[in-house]
Amino acid sequence: MARGLKLLLWIGAAAAVLLTGCSENDPAARSDTETPPKPVVLRYTSFMLDSSQTASYYFDAIAEFEALNPGIRIEVDHIQNINYMAGLKTRLLGGEQMDVFDVWSPSLFEELRRLDDNVYLDLSDEDFLNDFLPAALEPVTLDGRVYGVPGMMHTDGLLYNKTMFQELGLSVPGTWDEFIRLCEKLKTLGIVPIALNSEWWVPQFFFGSLMSNAGAGEAWTAELEQGLVKTEHPILINAMKMTKEIIDRGFVPDDWEQLKHEQSRDLITGGKAAMIITGTWDLSELNASGTGQEIDFMMVPGKEHTIPNLNIGSYKVVSGSSEHPEEAKRFLAYMNGKEIQEKLADKVMAVPSVSGVSLHDPIVRRISDLMTGREAMIYWPHMVSTESLQLSVIDSLNEYLRGADLEGELEKIQHAIDRAGDMETQPTT
């Protein structure tokens, strides 16, 4: 009897050991109270994550990335456009967590780099860089090292109501003189030729196109900042005067200084205006307005040459202080990668910065041909070395359009250039 009891006790103990071993090795057998590993949290800072239809596509891409990478969670940090540069500087100087963030221009990229040489993580050895067009990587390349990847590419100038043009038998102008005659005709028909508005960032897309048309390339811009070319140069003066001409001739709404961009968009989709100063980033939403008006893109024609400009919507960079650099690089490569850009091309009517993408929309194909051609130039204001200096030029342009003296505004621009040059040459302590 005693021997039988001992045998039963031994069998019970052995079974307990076996069950314990199984529960330790089988995840399904673990206690429901066991805490799963915490995901890596990446903070993504951007100006693009607003309430627009385009932004929804980026939120979809973020959700897809998290589904594919369950160990990574994205914390979205949205800053409005108007506060974006100041917001980035506040976060960087304040030591806030920044893993991946967007810069919208080479000028902003350089402005932030001057705050800290190590603000960006070097991406030069990453294989995913091979997918991108070499020209699109140049603005974020320093001394042969690459510090960011481009997103969708745009061009800017004028969008026009193609339906209206066809109904009235109008042609897209190829020269400045043809453009002026077109505006005069539209005005006599009681149609607003150009739906200008009061938003501070709008006139630069017209003005910048005229600068490129007149030959304001990288070499000319460098000479301007070095003092070898002064603001009295005809390229700058003529571009400012030609921008002001559309106001002086009454080609814009009488109340343009009170209008917002959304109201200007309503004018063109409602058939009350023929053209609007903006970029191709507005195409998808304007064509989805449901008004039956087809909106297309046209370049701002020059007096002698018309040069396509290349405006890369944003560059994604990884913060040099990120505690999760490998996960951040994975997120950056996915968000700006070939698969996502191909999905977005027709949806947002933008041109991918990666090679080998099939484009289906005829407008996007035509814009792509313009932007990837030999004559295409980086959008002029983005050639200015820093965002602060670029904003000084645009502020003076806006003041001039509102009635300020041209010579006085040119002096302000020259002062801003000289001040920036002095700061660049000051010794550091």
**pTM of the shown model:** 0.85
Q: What's the Cα-to-Cα distance from 241 to each of 183, 221, 232, 317, 406, rounded to whole Å?
A: 17, 19, 12, 37, 9
For the stretch 228-281, pLDDT in tens is 999 999 999 999 999 999 999 999 999 999 999 999 999 999 999 999 999 999
For the stretch 271-285, pLDDT in tens is 999 999 999 999 999
Segment 148-163 mean pLDDT: 96
Q: What are the DSSP calls for 63-102, one per residue?
A: HHHHHH-TTEEEEEEE--GGGHHHHHHHHHHHT---SEEE
Q: What are the DSSP calls for 389-410, one per residue?
A: HHHHHHHHHHHHHTT--HHHHH
Residue with tokens 């003041």: 399
Q: Are strands 156-161 and 295-298 parallel, antiparallel or unpaired?
A: antiparallel
Q: Edge to edge, what strands does the sheet with 377-378 contain?
A: 153-154, 309-312, 377-378
Could you check whether 40-153+312-373 and 156-307+386-425 share the same CATH topology? yes
Q: Is the pLDDT confidence value at 352 over 70? A: yes
Q: Are strands 100-103 and 40-46 parallel, antiparallel or unpaired?
A: parallel
For the stretch 279-320, pLDDT in tens is 999 999 999 989 999 999 999 999 999 999 999 989 999 999
Query: What percentage of residues in the chain have a pLDDT greater than 70?
Result: 90
Q: Which residues contact 66 (CB under 8 A, 6 or more apart)?
A: 72, 73, 74
pLDDT band at 13 (very low <50, low <70, confident <90, very high): very low
What 3-state DSSP class applies to 329? helix
Tokens in use for 307?
């040069």
Q: Residue 54 has what pLDDT? A: 80
Q: Which residues contact 56 (CB under 8 A, 6 or more apart)?
A: none
Cβ atoms of 107 and 387 within 8 Å: the answer is yes
pLDDT band at 32 (very low <50, low <70, confident <90, very high): low
Query: What percentage of residues in the chain have a pLDDT greater than 90?
Result: 80
Q: Which residues contact 96 (CB under 8 A, 6 or more apart)?
A: 90
Handedness of CA 136, 138, 142, 146 (dihedral sign): positive
Whole-number average pLDDT of the chain: 90
Closest CA to 390 of 12, 99, 142, 103: 103
Task: Give the whole-angstrom CA distance, residue 69 versus residue 367.
Answer: 35
What 3-state DSSP class applies to 275? strand
Task: Give the whole-angstrom CA distance, residue 269 versus residue 358.
Answer: 29
Cβ atoms of 221 and 384 within 8 Å: the answer is yes
Q: Phi first, then psi: what are they for 196, rounded to 5°?
A: -70, 150
C-alpha angle 182/278/238, rounded to 5°?
Answer: 60
Q: Is the pLDDT confidence value at 206 over 90? A: yes
Q: Residue 19 has what pLDDT? A: 40
Cβ atoms of 190 and 350 within 8 Å: the answer is no
For the chain, report the end-to-end CA distance as a whole number of angstroms.
Answer: 92
Q: Residue 25 has what pLDDT? A: 47
User: Could you tell me which CATH class the domain 40-153+312-373 is placed in?
Assistant: alpha beta
Q: Residue 198 has what pLDDT? A: 96
Tokens in use for 230?
């002064």
Return the DSSP state at 428: P
pLDDT band at 4 (very low <50, low <70, confident <90, very high): very low
For the stretch 85-129, pLDDT in tens is 999 999 999 999 899 999 999 999 999 999 999 999 999 999 999
Per-residue b or e along 282-300, where b marks 16 or more CB atoms closer than 10 Å to that residue's CB: bbbbbbeeebebebbbbbb
CATH number, span 156-307+386-425: 3.40.190.10
Domain boundaries, the chain: 40-153+312-373, 156-307+386-425
Residue with tokens 């070095």: 226
Q: Which residues contact 21 (CB under 8 A, 6 or more apart)?
A: none
The half-sphere exposure of 76 on its side-chain side, counting CA atoms within 13 A, is 16
pLDDT band at 17 (very low <50, low <70, confident <90, very high): very low
